[in-house]
Amino acid sequence: MSETATISAPSSAAPPAAAAPPALAAGEHTGALRHIWAIAKRELAGYFASPVAYVFIVIFLVLIGFFTFNVGRFFLRNEASLNSFFMWHPWLYLFLVPAVGMRLWAEERRVGTFELLLTMPVTTWQAIVGKFLASWLFLGLALALTFPMILTVSYLGDPDAGAIFCGYLGSFLLAGAYLAVGSMTSAMTRNQVVSFILSVVGCLFLVLAGWPPVTDALTWAPPWLLELVASFSVMPHFESFQRGVIDLRDVVYFALVMVFCLFTTGVIIRSHRAG
């Protein structure tokens, strides 16, 4: 009686384990953040490598002090608030922030390092965000150095700390929105003066769009057009922060302005790169 030997077929080798997408994505994000921070540190160090940064900070502090105490009549108001301090920020930033943003890309193109920067192992958006963050941090430092204003009003009275915090937050977001406009105009040209002028015009539009004298002059326009033009203005959104109110719609407005201008910056830079 013959025995039939059963030979079991060898089991197929287990497929190789797939790479973990979350870990890979986390590594990519870490590398992107590292590139952004490296560019930001390079740009921030570049500001303080020359006296320009110190001159800018001194001019900013002198002007804000003059407009707060002399023009804004801080002591004659008899109120423990920084309204006479924050009310001048949209107008001072109108000239000071474009002076910071005009060199973001125009300087790179003028000295010939624009192509070198784009050949580095970084993407276009990483370079844009890194340079923008460096300039925004520099403006934040200049704003933080106005802390004697807080000490002064606290010494003279009992101010609302929440309103002061909201005012500083709104001022920082306002500076970021102006700076994003400056980044966009700086990518358009290699001439810093032209970039400065275009940035001032763009920021001035954001200020005047909802200004009552401008909207009153448009009496011929339909109401929906007036509302559309006024919606572009930074003034109503910044005034909410001045009153001590953090409205999500105001935060979203400033974020959208920054994202749109930085996205446009990327489009302009890619067109230069392709050309």
The whole-number pLDDT of residue 112 equals 63
How far apart are alpha carbons 194 and 188 in whole angstroms? Answer: 9
pLDDT beneath 70: ranges in the chain? 1-29, 110-120, 273-275
How far apart are alpha carbons 49 and 30 in whole angstroms? Answer: 28
The whole-number pLDDT of residue 1 equals 42
The whole-number pLDDT of residue 11 equals 45
- Residues 105, 265: contact at Cβ < 8 Å? yes
- Residues 233, 211: contact at Cβ < 8 Å? yes
The whole-number pLDDT of residue 7 equals 43
Q: State pLDDT tens for residues 71-114.
A: 888 888 878 889 889 999 999 999 999 999 988 887 777 666 66
The whole-number pLDDT of residue 270 equals 84
How far does the chain reach from its first CA to its final CA, in angstroms? 86
Mean pLDDT of the chain: 84
How far apart are alpha carbons 195 and 264 in whole angstroms? Answer: 15
The whole-number pLDDT of residue 78 equals 79
